[in-house]
Amino acid sequence: MPFAPVLHAEWIKTRTLPSLLGALAAILLVTTAFSAVGAAGDADPDPLYSVFFGVNLGQIAAIAFGTTAVATEFRGGALRLTLSAVPGRRRWFAAKATAIAMPVLAAGLLTGLVTLLVGKAVLGASGPSWTEGLRGAAGCCLQLTLMALFAAGLAALLRSGVATLSVLIPFVLIVSFVVGDLSAGVADFLPDRAGQVALHSTWDGALGPWTGLAVTALWATAALLAGAWRLDRGDA
């Protein structure tokens, strides 16, 4: 079966599952709300990071979206039915990843722009420049998309939404910050932290805005390849 109809089928699944639509809405609402709180507090000397502070929690919603989109295939024999229609497992998984990336990319772009507008309205003249702000909006969009894909790959590898969320949510909320306190150099290369360099006006580590996003992209690619490998060798 050609790729286009497989992608179309996966897109229908994505836009008709209420839990996925809820996760997309949460990306926008959580990121914008917590960014507004962060900007109002203005405790961070970096105005760009104050504007996009909410990405720390918004990426949890992106992780939930990517995890749920894949994990639903492992419930009630859904994957067996899918693969009976699409025998090529790699083609199906590529379509699934694309159907995850596209809506998160769109939601992430909207989130980045809305967050920037809200942040500049809150901070006023002390806010970041439009050039920095648009770079931050692009970084916000890409970081959210890459984290959703990272979660999707891990969900395919573990074949469980519960296991994936049990690993990733504590990692993002707790472990990453603990590692950062112990060794900032190592934390810079973690998937949830590397891409966020693009949300800072200045950076002192080894990574810049785009190299940081490239590191997160490598994590996402590795997770997707591992998920595809497990899918090839596992039972439907």
pLDDT in tens, 72-81: 998 877 888 8
pTM of the model: 0.93
In this prediction, residue 174 carries a pLDDT of 83
Q: Which domain holds residue 36?
A: 3-233
The confidence score (pLDDT) of residue 213 equals 96
CB 15 within 8 A of CB 103: yes
Rg of the chain over all Cα atoms, to the nearest angstrom: 18
Whether the pLDDT of residue 235 is over 80: the answer is no
CB-CB contact of 46 with 70 (8 Å): no
Residue that is written with structure tokens 């785009």 in the block: 210
Four-CA torsion 111, 116, 121, 122, nearest 10 degrees: 90
Total tally of structural domains belonging to the chain: 1
Residue 190 pLDDT > 70, yes or no?
A: yes
Mean pLDDT of the chain: 89
pLDDT attached to residue 225 = 97
SS3 state of residue 198:
helix
**For residues 116 and 136, is the Cβ–Cβ distance under 8 A?**
yes
